[in-house]
Amino acid sequence: MRNALFLGLGLLLLVIPAVAGEILEHSLRPARDPAASFEHYGNRGPLVAIRFLPALAIAALVGAVIGRQLPALLLAGALVGGMAIGLSLTPPLWLQPTEQVGEPQPFGDGSLFAYVSCRDPGGSWISQEEAFARMTSNEGEELDPNQPQEVFFVVPGERYPEVVLRESAALVAVALVGGGFLFFIVRRRRPG
C-alpha cells in the first residue's frame, strides 16, 4: 500500500517537469517538432516519469531484501544511479542507426548520434586507427582525394516516438519484474 502511494505521488510530481521539458524544447527550437528530435532525450516527455517506475521497484526490492535502512538506501542509490548512466548510453541501441546523408548540421537536425565509421575511397570499411594513420601520413600535402572518409551513423529524429515507446516498454517490464520479486519476498516474510 505504501509503495502504491509513493508510486502515485512520484508520478504526479514528475508529470510537471516532463511537460515543462516538452514546452521548453519546443520554445528552444520552434521550427522543429519536439516529437521528431532526440535533443535532451530522457530529460523531457514521458520518459521522465516512466524511468521512475524501475527506480522505485529497485529501491523497494533492495529495501525488502536488505532490511536495514542505511545500507539499503546506499545500495539502492548506487543501483538507480547505475541504471541512469546505463540508460543515457542506450538510446542508439533501441533502433538500427543509419548512415547520415550529407554533412552534419551545426545545430543538429534532431537525429541521435550513434557512432562514426571510416570508409576508404574504394568503399571498404576500415578501422579508425587505420584511417587516422592514412590521414596523418599526408599532412602538409594538398588535400588528397584518396583520403578515408568519416561516415556518421545516426538514428533519425523521426524515429523518436518509436525509441521512446521501446524504452518505455522495457522500463515497464523491468518495473513489473521487480514488483513481482518484491511481492514474492514480502509474502514469504509475512507470518502465517
Residues 14 and 84 in one domain: yes
φ, ψ dihedrals at 105, nearest 5°:
-80, 145
Residue at 78: amino acid letter: A
What pLDDT shows up at residue 122? 84
Q: Are 62 and 76 in contact (CB under 8 A)?
A: yes
What's the CA gap between 190 and 34, in Å, rounded?
48
What pLDDT shows up at residue 136? 73
Location of C-alpha cell 523497494: 60
Paired residues of 125 in beta bridges? 119
* Residue 22 belongs to some domain of the structure: yes
* Residue 106 belongs to some domain of the structure: no
Residues 56 and 125 in one domain: no
Residues 148 and 179 in one domain: no
Q: Are 64 and 182 in contact (CB under 8 A)?
A: yes
Residues 75 and 165 in one domain: yes
* Residue 103 belongs to some domain of the structure: no
What pLDDT shows up at residue 23? 93
What's the CA gap between 63 and 50, in Å, rounded?
21
* Residue 183 belongs to some domain of the structure: yes
Scored b (16 or more CB within 10 A) or e, 159-178 reads bbeebbebbbeebeebbeeb
What pLDDT shows up at residue 192? 55
Residues 140 and 122 in one domain: yes
Q: Return per-residue pLDDT of the chain as tens, 192 residues.
A: 676 787 888 889 999 999 999 999 999 888 889 999 998 888 999 999 999 999 999 999 999 899 888 999 999 999 999 999 988 888 767 788 888 876 666 557 888 888 888 888 888 888 888 888 877 766 555 556 678 888 888 888 899 999 999 999 999 999 999 989 988 888 887 765
Residues 14 and 35 in one domain: yes
Residues 55 and 31 in one domain: yes
DSSP 54-123: HHHHHHHHHHHHH--HHHHHHHHHHHHHHHHHHHHH-GGGSS--EEPPSSPPTT--SPEEEEEEEE-TTS
φ, ψ dihedrals at 99, nearest 5°:
-70, 130
Structural domains in the chain (count): 2
What's the CA gap between 36 and 76, in Å, rounded?
34
Residues 25 and 67 in one domain: yes
Sign of the alpha-carbon torsion through 163, 32, 43, 93 = positive
Residues 86 and 177 in one domain: yes
* Residue 77 belongs to some domain of the structure: yes
Domain coverage including residue 116? 112-155
Residue 80 to residues 58, 87, 143, Cα–Cα distance (Å): 7, 10, 49
Residues 75 and 39 in one domain: yes
Residues 130 and 91 in one domain: no
